[in-house]
């Protein structure tokens, strides 16, 4: 078969830009690439493999002939446009939350549930960034020890809120360095020299944010564990890239840190950095601009009998978004 | 009785400076104040109530005539000097970890266990900052619903590592704003635009840090709950003042968020800021330079039957150190 014609919807955004990088790095076989974006960005150019490509407006008619669309736009745009892309014969790999919870849309992390792509109907969803890295660390633990309960607290970078939020951190950093009050426009509160427990919107029904809710619902769907109990607290921190997560897991069988280290170490895409004698553990800076899910601080949970605590760090724009999406496309045949 | 003669050991440090502020603000009755510090700072002056006071060297003989000593120095200095202060007739209110775990030294949060000061033998310990704010939020929950297990993840400000760490954040912020690489000298890793899961030293026996271990051991001692199960992950974040904590509590009896809000709201020193309809919750900036323990994001734990999750923020230099120490002194009679 011919290499596919690839569309990148949201090519000028934070995730879209990394999708372009990852396609090149992984030498993804493609016949040609069509960057698509809103009318605001249409007509600008983006660079891909040394060529300047003109961004086209993402209209319902724009998908004719395209084989695979990477969608990294707002959810409402995806909900509107993805069906047109599917009708035009494309497979949509959707990074938004628009389709993730639909029963006929698989939610896929290639290392975890690659088989789920088989039942797609044109749309395959990529999980939320904070979910992906957690599930990458939970899956080897589940396979070896079984898991029944997860408690997570996140330390999420501003790039999860898009390119404008990254600029806001830059501007606020310059402001405080100059002794000026930082302007707050994109994120809900001042983020420089602060931490903010509001990521996405609040859910009146249970007091969680939708980001926190996603970590529970998506984890159950990806791992095929409908009864897994999950609670998360999601917090924005003044970091550009890479989310960090403190994760407590209750296992169904006796568990020990060395066994968890071994299970994680042999799982593709996971890098264990965990040697307290050397004071080694991953931080957001280590994991930035890198595809691995880094895990450290692995230790017995002193508050339960079969519990483990770990520290999981990964670049939210790469494995948390672009890389995972491209990996899904690599599972498809065209 | 005459008002006491007060000594402040470590008067030139981050906590010592706030002790001086809090003594003035609370109009603590004192006859006179003697600032004490290492030989390096001896001879410098500090301002107290508009007067310049000369800092004296903290020698074993320096405590003669002093009634109460606030100790905010390194643990090893406290271990050396506190017995001399007690021998000279002073009560030592010690902010270090030197004496906290001794069976004959009470560990006191005045709102929680004021009765424990009665059995002191000259030294009363002030708990660690991250413990104080957590226990302030746990105590009303324990009294109303009983608690059996606590899981905490912290977001700790650099002032917990002292004045030099605060300067390091300032210098690193200036460096990144200027596009230069930030120098790392005091904290274990670059802290600006990063988060670092290393607060205090690692414990080879269980992989926790001593900061994390303190949160378990101190909580059990203060709350008189020797069987309480606690696990913490302590993380440094690029914030100057105020620690934030994501806390999951398992209660022994059925619990609901409104009941927890009511219990917290009526507890002295706790301020509930929790209205998701208004997107209101506390952040480190709100709690800085303030004595309250701020609690928000109170919700049912979706991972257990009788669990509650909450977000607890407090200024580590004030209620987490200086204010709690002065409040202990207010319970003493001279």
pLDDT digits (tens, 9 = 90+) for B93-123: 999 999 999 999 999 999 999 999 999 999 9
CB contacts of B153 in chain A (<8 Å) are 153, 233, 246
Could you give phi then psi for residue B79, rounded to 5 degrees? -60, -35
Q: Report pLDDT digits (tens) over A116-171.
A: 999 999 999 999 999 999 999 999 999 999 999 999 999 999 999 999 999 999 99
| Cross-chain Cβ contact A233/B153 below 8 Å | yes
Q: What tokens appear for B79 in the block?
A: 């271990």
Taking the CA of residue A319 and the nearest CA in chain B, the distance in Å comes to 19
Check if the beta carbon of residue B219 is closer than 8 Å to that of residue A266.
no
List the beta bridge partners of residue A232: A152
Rounded CA separation A255/A245 (Å): 20
Q: What tokens appear for A231 in the block?
A: 């609670």
| Cross-chain Cβ contact A238/B188 below 8 Å | no
Q: Which long-range contacts (CB under 8 A, 24 or more apart) does A170-178 make?
A: A172/A238, A173/A238, A173/B173, A173/B176, A173/B177, A173/B192, A173/B193, A174/B177, A176/B173, A177/B173, A177/B174, A177/B177, A177/B178, A178/B177
Of A126, A129, A234, A251, which one is the catalytic site residue?
A129
Rounded CA separation A233/A245 (Å): 10
| Cross-chain Cβ contact A197/B307 below 8 Å | no
| Cross-chain Cβ contact A173/B176 below 8 Å | yes
Residues in contact with A295: Cβ distance below 8 Å, sequence separation at least 6, in sequence order: A137, A264, A270, A271, A272, A273, A274, A282, A310, A311, A312, A313
State the span(s) of chain B assigned CATH 3.40.50.720. Answer: 5-127+321-331
List the beta bridge partners of residue A154: A245
Q: What are the C-alpha distances in Å from B4 to residues A50, A112, B51, B67, B330?
A: 77, 67, 18, 5, 11
Neighbours of A275 (CB within 10 A): 11
What residue has token string 């050991």? B9
**pTM of the complete model beyond 0.95:** yes
Q: Which residue of B has its CA nearest to A230?
A: B303
Of B126, B234, B243, B251, which one is the catalytic site residue?
B243
| Cross-chain Cβ contact B155/A151 below 8 Å | no
Cross-chain CB nearest to B237 (options A189, A204, A237): A237
Residues of chain B with pLDDT under 70: 1
> Best mutation site among B167, B226, B231 for testing chain A: the one with the most A CBs within 10 Å?
B231
Q: What tokens appear for A241 in the block?
A: 């890239």
Rounded CA separation B324/B334 (Å): 18
CATH of B131-316, one of 3.30.360.10, 3.40.50.360, 3.30.565.10, 3.40.50.880: 3.30.360.10
Check if the beta carbon of residue A246 is closer than 8 Å to that of residue A165.
no
| Cross-chain Cβ contact B297/A197 below 8 Å | yes
Amino acid B1: pLDDT: 64
List the beta bridge partners of residue A244: A155, A313
Taking the CA of residue A169 and the nearest CA in chain B, the distance in Å comes to 9
Task: Please say if B251 is a catalytic residue.
Answer: no
> Best mutation site among A188, A214, A233 for testing chain B: the one with the most B CBs within 10 Å?
A233
Q: Is A166 helix (H, G, I), strand (E, B) or coil?
A: helix
Amino acid A323: pLDDT: 98
Instruction: Give me the helix-helix angle, B129-145 and B210-223, nearest 10°.
Output: 40
| Cross-chain Cβ contact A231/B177 below 8 Å | no
Rounded CA separation B268/B264 (Å): 8
Of B126, B129, B234, B251, which one is the catalytic site residue?
B129
Taking the CA of residue B50 and the nearest CA in chain A, the distance in Å comes to 27
List the beta bridge partners of residue A123: A92
Cross-chain CB nearest to A297 (options B194, B233, B238): B233
Task: Please say if A251 is a catalytic residue.
Answer: no
Q: Is A216 helix (H, G, I), strand (E, B) or coil?
A: helix
Q: Report pLDDT digits (tens) over A80-105.
A: 999 999 999 999 999 999 999 999 99
ipTM of the complex: 0.96
Count interface pairs A-B at CB distance under 8 A.
172
Cross-chain CB nearest to A311 (options B174, B197, B246): B197
Look at residues A2, A64, A72, A68 and name the one whose alpha carbon lies nearest to residue A37: A72
Taking the CA of residue B272 and the nearest CA in chain A, the distance in Å comes to 15
Residue A334 has pLDDT above 80, yes or no: no
| Cross-chain Cβ contact B189/A151 below 8 Å | no
Residues in contact with A208: Cβ distance below 8 Å, sequence separation at least 6, in sequence order: A202, A232, B299, B302
Mean pLDDT computed over A227-243: 98
State the span(s) of chain B assigned CATH 3.30.360.10. Answer: 131-316
| Three-state SS annotation for chain B | CCCCEEEEECCCCHHHHHHHHHHHHCCCCCCEEEEEECCCCCCCEEEECCEEEECEECCHHHHCCCCEEEECCCHHHHHHHHHHHHHCCCEEEECCCCCCCCCCCCECCCCCCHHHHHHCCCEEECCCHHHHHHHHHHHHHHHHHCEEEEEEEEEECHHHHCHHHHHHHHHHHHHHHCCCCCCCCCCCCCCCCCCECCCCCECCCCCCEHHHHHHHHHHHHHHCCCCCEEEEECCECCCCCCEEEEEEEEECCCCCHHHHHHHHHCCCCEEECCEHHHCECCCHHHHCCCCCEEEEEEEECCCCCCEEEEEEEECCCHHHHHHHHHHHHHHCCC
Q: Report pLDDT digits (tens) over A276-288.
A: 999 999 999 999 9
Percent of chain A with pLDDT strictly greater than 70: 100
Residues in contact with A34: Cβ distance below 8 Å, sequence separation at least 6, in sequence order: A5, A6, A7, A8, A53, A56, A62, A66
Q: Is A43 helix (H, G, I), strand (E, B) or coil?
A: coil
Residue A292 per-residue DSSP state:
-
Q: Which residue of B has its CA nearest to A248?
A: B151
> Best mutation site among A156, A194, A247 for testing chain B: the one with the most B CBs within 10 Å?
A194
Amino acid A1: pLDDT: 64
What residue has token string 């009679």? B333
> Best mutation site among A302, A308, A312 for testing chain B: the one with the most B CBs within 10 Å?
A302
CATH fold of A5-127+321-331, please? Rossmann fold (3.40.50)
| Cross-chain Cβ contact B193/A285 below 8 Å | yes
């Amino acid at each position: 078969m011919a290499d596919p014609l690839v569309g990148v919807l949201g090519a000028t955004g934070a995730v879209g830009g990394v999708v372009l990088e990852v396609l090149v790095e992984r030498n993804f076989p493609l016949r040609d690439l069509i960057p698509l974006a809103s009318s605001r960005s249409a007509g600008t150019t983006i660079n891909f493999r040394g060529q300047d490509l003109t961004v086209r407006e993402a209209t319902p008619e724009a998908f004719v002939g395209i084989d695979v669309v990477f969608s990294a736009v707002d959810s409402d745009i995806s909900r509107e446009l993805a069906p047109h892309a599917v009708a035009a014969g494309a497979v949509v790999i959707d990074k938004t939350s628009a389709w993730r919870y639909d029963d006929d849309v698989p939610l896929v992390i290639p290392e975890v549930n690659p088989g789920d792509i088989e039942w797609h109907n044109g749309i395959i969803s990529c999980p939320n960034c904070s979910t992906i890295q957690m599930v990458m660390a939970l899956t080897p633990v589940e396979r070896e020890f079984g898991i029944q309960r997860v408690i997570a607290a996140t330390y999420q970078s501003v790039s999860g809120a898009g390119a404008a939020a990254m600029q806001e951190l830059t501007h606020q950093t310059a402001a405080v360095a100059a002794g000026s009050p930082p302007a707050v426009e994109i994120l809900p509160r001042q983020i420089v020299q602060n931490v903010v427990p509001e990521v996405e919107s609040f859910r009146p029904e249970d007091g969680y944010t939708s980001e926190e809710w996603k970590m529970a619902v998506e984890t159950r769907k990806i791992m095929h564990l409908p009864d897994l109990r999950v609670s998360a607290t999601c917090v924005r921190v003044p970091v550009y890239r890479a989310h960090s997560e403190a994760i407590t897991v209750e296992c169904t069988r006796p568990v020990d840190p060395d066994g968890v280290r071994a299970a994680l170490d042999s799982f593709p895409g996971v890098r264990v950095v965990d040697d307290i004698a050397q004071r080694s553990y991953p931080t957001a800076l280590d994991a930035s601009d890198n595809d691995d899910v880094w895990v450290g601080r692995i230790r017995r949970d002193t508050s339960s009998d079969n519990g483990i605590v770990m520290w999981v760090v990964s670049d939210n724009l790469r494995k948390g978004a672009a890389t995972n999406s491209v990996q899904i496309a690599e599972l498809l045949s065209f």
